[in-house]
Amino acid sequence: MVHERTRMMKIRSLTGFGKVVESFFSLSLMYGIDLILPLITMPYLMRIIGIEKVGLLSFVAATNAYFSIIINYGFTLTATKEVAIHSQNPRELQQIFNKVTTSKFYLALFSFLLLLIIVLAFSDFRAHYGLYGIVFCGIFFQSFLPIWFFQGLQNLKRITLQNGLIKIIFTALIFVFVKKESDYWKVPTFNTAAFFFCAVLAYYYLFTHYRLRFLWSEFQDVKYQLKEGLYVFLSQVKISFFSSFNVLMLGLLVGNVAVGYFTAADKIVRALAVIQIPITASLYPHFSQLLRTDKYMAYRQINKIGYGAIAFYIPILLLTFVFSHLIAEVVFGVGADEISLLIRIMVPLPLLIILNNLAGTQMLLNMGKDKWFFNILLSTAVLNVCMVIPLTKIWGFEGTSYSVLISEIYLCAAMYMGFLKVKKIY
Written in H, E and C, the secondary structure of the chain is CHHHHHHHHHHHHHHHHHHHHHHHHHHHHHHHHHHHHHHHHHHHHHHHCCHHHHHHHHHHHHHHHHHHHHHHCCHHHHHHHHHHHCCCCHHHHHHHHHHHHHHHHHHHHHHHHHHHHHHHHCHHHHCCHHHHHHHHHHHHHHHCCCHHHHHHCCCCHHHHHHHHHHHHHHHHHHHHHCCCHHHCCHHHHHHHHHHHHHHHHHHHHHHHHCCCCCCCCCHHHHHHHHHHCHHHHHHHHHHHHHCHHHHHHHHHHCCHHHHHHHHHHHHHHHHHHHCCHHHHHHHHHHHHHHHHHCHHHHHHHHHHHHHHHHHHHHHHHHHHHHCHHHHHHHHHCCCHHHHHHHHHHHCCHHHHHHHHHHHHHHHHHCCCCHHHHHHHHHHHHHHHHHHHHHHHHHHCHHHHHHHHHHHHHHHHHHHHHHHHHHHHHC
Whole-number Å distance between alpha carbons of 226 and 152: 19
Is residue 365 a contact partner of residue 345, using CB atoms and an 8 Å limit?
Answer: no
- Which segments of the chain have a pLDDT < 70? 1-25, 27-28, 231, 235-243, 426
The total of other beta-carbon atoms located within 10 Å of residue 377's CB is 23
pTM of the full structure: 0.71
Cα distances from 360 to residues 200, 367, 421, in angstroms, run: 34, 10, 12
Whole-number Å distance between alpha carbons of 206 and 90: 13
165 CB-near residues (< 8 Å, 6+ apart): none
Is residue 44 a contact partner of residue 175, using CB atoms and an 8 Å limit?
Answer: yes
Given this model, what pLDDT does residue 426 score? 63
294 CB-near residues (< 8 Å, 6+ apart): none
Given this model, what pLDDT does residue 132 score? 94
Nearest of 130, 141, 140 to residue 67 by alpha carbon = 140
Write b or e for each residue in 397-415: b if 16 or more Cβ atoms lie within 10 A of its Cβ, otherwise e. bbbbbbbbbbbbebbbebb
Given this model, what pLDDT does residue 141 score? 94
105 CB-near residues (< 8 Å, 6+ apart): none
Is residue 221 a contact partner of residue 99, using CB atoms and an 8 Å limit?
Answer: yes
Compute the CA torsion angle 334, 335, 341, 347 (nearest 10 deg): -40
Given this model, what pLDDT does residue 130 score? 93
34 CB-near residues (< 8 Å, 6+ apart): 167, 274
CB-count burial class (<10 Å; 0-12, 13-18, 19+) for 359: buried
Is residue 131 a contact partner of residue 154, using CB atoms and an 8 Å limit?
Answer: no
Given this model, what pLDDT does residue 240 score? 58
Whole-number Å distance between alpha carbons of 249 and 352: 23
Whole-number Å distance between alpha carbons of 386 and 381: 9
Nearest of 63, 46, 41, 35 to residue 338 by alpha carbon = 46
Is residue 315 a contact partner of residue 371, using CB atoms and an 8 Å limit?
Answer: no
Given this model, what pLDDT does residue 6 score? 46
Whole-number Å distance between alpha carbons of 9 and 273: 35
